[in-house]
Amino acid sequence: MPIYFTKFFQGRIGQLFRMVGDHRGRLFFAVVAMVVVAATQVAIPFVLKHVLDDIFVNKDVRMLNLIPLGVVVLFLIRGTAMYYQAYLMKYVGEKIVMRLRNRLYDRIQDLPLSFFYKEKTGSLMARITHDVSIVREMISDAMTGVLKDAVMILGLAGYIYSQDWKLAIAATVVLPIAFYPITEFGRRIRRYSTGYQAAMADLSAFLYETFAGNKIVKAFGMEAWEKKRFAQKSADLFRHQMKQVFVRALSSPVMDFLGGLGIAFIIWFGGHQVISGTQTVGTFTSFIAAALLLYDPVRRLSKFNNTIQQGMAATDRVFDIIEHSSDIKQADHPISVPDGPHRVTFENVSFAYDADETVLKDIRMDVRPGEILALVGASGGGKTTLVNIIPRFIDVTQGKILIDGMDIRRLSLDSLRRQIAIVTQEPILFNDSVRNNIAYGNQAASDAEIEAAAKAAYAHDFVVNFPDGFNTLVGELGERLSGGEKQRLCIARALLKDAPILILDEATSSLDSESEQLVQKALENLMHGRTTFVIAHRLSTVRYADRIVVIDAGRIVEEGTHQKLLGRQGAYYNLCRIQSSRDMAISG
């Protein structure tokens, strides 16, 4: 037993209990109120006994006035206590759920990108919304219910034992029998609930995808197909829910029947005593009333146990994420990187998303402070992967990356990422104003700075033409903007960050040739004095680079200046030839 309890309190439920403990003050008053409610409950059979024995049998007129007055006072006290008990308990429950929700969100935000590659967005959302709310039910309904009922059971049991212990033993003989169905129902509920939550997460993931990607659903006329898929998932959820409904629906009558058995036993046993004259009618009736009142909370224990089991399943799902270890670990004594142009060195770097497929193989590169390095090569070659390792979105599988001679894994993540401004391959904006999107990560930026960044990224002209200018909302993920507009805002955002390492992954790919040339000039000005990684498919945009590195199937196959590589007539020369002949075909 003690081992069981130690485990219990070290485990996830234990953590939850410790959170409950943080609200001792309110909890204490709630328990006091609960005891008062239970005490008034116990007082009911006591009053009944006096009504029967003093008013009806002894015809005591003084009692006839006193007892109704007592009942009014009793119910007034009971009502007040009920209010405080319910309010305070819910308060504690909701507060813990809020803290749990925040802990979950904080944890998810801190998890590395590799975690998001594996988990579905919708399913993560379901953990924060749905699973946490099941934990809430467990804390604010079941736990408080169990506490209240336990107090009530103790009180009522005490009362019936004090009245007639023999009869009391007869009344509680069914309790051990009730133990088996309670645990069995609980076990099943826990299993079914886990299945239900998984099905719910699956449904949420499906919803997220088909709503976010609705344009494609419409474009390919897949509405009927998606409706069918949804109906299937919905039916799946229904099936999982019905399994729980079955257990819940069964648990109530089974417990009821056991209660009935107990009552029948009391009537038979107590009836004998009344007939033989060893018991008064009043005592016997109050005994029956107490027993009836007692069976109610006992019966509810099964229901609460079901809710608790369901809550434990949800707690497991929530803590699975909270305790998820991050594979991007910060060093014990992280070093802060000073500002300034940095040297970035790749030493025999290899990387694999999945163990069986190496995406980067033995990359060796030394990028001088302030050097502009262009990465080119066939699609899927590993260019984006390569630059994702620099801010530690992912960690090398082998080898290391050094910044000014220091392994990036020894640096503080925060300071490392502060050194890097990045324009990612997919432009991602948030549903906020243009201004706040440009100032993302740099909240202290002045309006003048924001406008300067917008001008440098050639975004200023189109922004001022919006009806609300810099206050225009860009829509979810920037959906209200054109591809080129989005890209220019992303560039402005990176420019405003003003970091010594610049990563541009196809930053100008959505622009027309004219805008591209303009933005290109702005970027070139900006690259001065910064260590820059530029990825581009359009080779004409990287000619100016200090060095061009050709990546193919995860390896560096060639490197040098534009002129040198052309002279070698190798991979780069071939890429250029294919592109220029394509451009010729268009112009000719």
Give the span between the Cα atoms of 477 and 426, in whole angstroms.
10
Per rule CB under 5 A, count of chain residues that contact Mg ion: 2
Q: Considering the rule CB under 5 A, would residue 385 count as an interface residue with Mg ion? A: no
Cβ closer to ligand ATP: 186 or 381? 381
Closest by alpha carbon to 131, among 90, 95, 97, 89?
97
- Minimum distance from residue 426 beta carbon to ligand ATP (Å): 10
Cβ closer to Mg ion: 451 or 506? 506
Beta bridge partners of residue 352, listed in sequence order:
358
Q: What is the 3-state secondary structure (H, E, C) of 265-327?
A: HHHHHHHHHHHCCCCCHHHHHHHHHHHHHHHHHHHHHHHHHHHHHHHHHHHHHHHHHHCCCCC
Cβ closer to ligand ATP: 4 or 117? 117
- Minimum distance from residue 116 beta carbon to ligand ATP (Å): 9
Closest by alpha carbon to 551, among 399, 364, 388?
364
Q: CA of 199: how far to CAs of 126, 189, 191, 408, in Å?
A: 10, 15, 13, 40
- Minimum distance from residue 423 beta carbon to ligand ATP (Å): 13
Scanning the structure block, which residue is given the tokens 């939850």?
Answer: 16
Cβ closer to Mg ion: 384 or 437? 384
The helix/strand/coil state of 220 is: coil
| Pair 255, 302: CB distance under 8 Å | yes
- Minimum distance from residue 362 beta carbon to Mg ion (Å): 20
Cβ closer to ligand ATP: 381 or 391? 381
- Minimum distance from residue 425 beta carbon to ligand ATP (Å): 6
Question: Which stretch in 42-50, 97-105, 221-229, 378-386 sits in contact with Mg ion by CB under 5 A?
Answer: 378-386
Question: Which stretch in 65-73, 380-388, 482-490, 541-549 sits in contact with Mg ion by CB under 5 A?
Answer: 380-388
Cβ closer to ligand ATP: 144 or 385? 385
Q: How many Cα neighbours within 13 Å face the side chain of 111? A: 19
Cβ closer to Mg ion: 114 or 273? 114
Cβ closer to Mg ion: 241 or 425? 425
Give the span between the Cα atoms of 99 and 93, in whole angstroms.
10
- Minimum distance from residue 553 beta carbon to ligand ATP (Å): 9
DSSP conformation class of 509: T
Scanning the structure block, which residue is given the tokens 């813990």?
Answer: 96
Give the span between the Cα atoms of 431 and 424, in whole angstroms.
18
Q: Which two tokens stand for residue 203?
A: 């449904």
Q: Among ligand ATP, Mg ion, none, what does residue 4 contact (CB within 5–8 Å per kind)?
A: none
- Minimum distance from residue 360 beta carbon to ligand ATP (Å): 8
Handedness of CA 316, 321, 326, 327 (dihedral sign): positive
Q: Considering the rule CB under 5 A, would residue 384 count as an interface residue with Mg ion? A: yes
Give the span between the Cα atoms of 20 and 9, in whole angstroms.
12
Q: CA of 25: how far to CAs of 33, 103, 150, 299, in Å?
A: 13, 23, 20, 30
- Minimum distance from residue 384 beta carbon to ligand ATP (Å): 3
- Minimum distance from residue 381 beta carbon to ligand ATP (Å): 4
Give the span between the Cα atoms of 535 and 539, in whole angstroms.
9
Q: List interacting residues with ligand ATP (CB under 6 A).
A: 117, 353, 359, 379-385, 425
Q: Among ligand ATP, Mg ion, none, what does residue 117 contact (CB within 5–8 Å per kind)?
A: ligand ATP
| Pair 463, 469: CB distance under 8 Å | yes
Residue whose Cβ sits closest to Mg ion: 384
Q: Among ligand ATP, Mg ion, none, what does residue 472 contact (CB within 5–8 Å per kind)?
A: none
Give the span between the Cα atoms of 241 and 368, in whole angstroms.
61
- Minimum distance from residue 510 beta carbon to ligand ATP (Å): 14
Pick out residues in 406-465 that bind Mg ion (CB under 5 A): 425
Q: Considering the rule CB under 5 A, would residue 194 count as an interface residue with Mg ion? A: no
- Minimum distance from residue 382 beta carbon to ligand ATP (Å): 4
Cβ closer to ligand ATP: 270 or 382? 382
Cβ closer to Mg ion: 332 or 357? 357
Cβ closer to ligand ATP: 359 or 511? 359
Beta bridge partners of residue 351, listed in sequence order:
360
Q: Which two tokens stand for residue 389?
A: 């390792």
Contacts of 339 (CB under 8 A, 6+ apart): 419, 500
**Binding positions for Mg ion, rule: CB under 5 A:** 384, 425
